[in-house]
Amino acid sequence: MTIQVGDHLPDVELQIMGEKGPELVRTADLFGGKKVVLFAVPGAFTPTCSAAHLPGFVVHVDKIRDKGVDSIICTSVNDAFVMDAWGKSQNADEIIMLADGLGDFASALGLTQDRTANKMGIRSQRYAMIINDGTVELLNIDSKGLDTTSAETLLAAL
């Protein structure tokens, strides 16, 4: 079942890149007591994700934070090394690049998609959320394109 507005995020262990390598983090720690914009992409370094989705958040990070957002988090079913390299290549220093290497978070949210026909395996759907103290306040899912999950759309909703 897909997570809904009003639901509390599941507590899942994921990874971010730390100074000494991948570090484990819990979603409860990332989202608890904070207002967070979370967006997910099907894959790091993929065309739409690299050309438009992540760059939009990089460009608008200050405007989003000015709306009272504590953190902006990008997640994908990729490992911490890939997410870190992608973030660096996109100058996403102000965005937490959250690795969901096994797809546990996407699965727990009910937001996976099967890309095995394209040799990509099980991936996250493209979605964006506004989360307040671990509770989903806004959930937008895009099956194609960036109509409802762009930085501009989230900025307007804040």
Q: What is the pLDDT of residues 95-109, one digit of tens each?
A: 999 999 999 999 999
pLDDT of amino acid 119: 79
Q: Which tokens sit at 77?
A: 């079913």
> What's the whole-number mean pLDDT along residues 9-38?
97
As annotated, the active-site residues are 49
- Return the percentage of the chain with pLDDT > 70, whole number: 100
Least confident of 26-40, 59-73, 82-96, 111-125: 111-125
> What's the whole-number mean pLDDT along residues 31-38?
98
- Return the percentage of the chain with pLDDT > 90, whole number: 83
13-157 is a CATH 3.40.50.720 domain = no
- In this prediction, residue 16 has a pLDDT band, given cuts at 50, 70 and 90, of very high
> What's the whole-number mean pLDDT along residues 28-47?
94
Who wins on pLDDT, 122 or 31?
31
Nearest to 132 by CA among 43, 10, 9: 9
pLDDT of amino acid 102: 95
pLDDT of amino acid 36: 98
Contacts of 151 (CB under 8 A, 6+ apart): 39, 56, 57, 59, 60, 64
The top-scoring range by mean pLDDT among 61-75, 116-130, 136-150 is 61-75
Rounded mean pLDDT of the chain? 95
- Is the CB of residue 37 less than 8 Å from the CB of residue 146? no
Per DSSP, 50 falls in state I
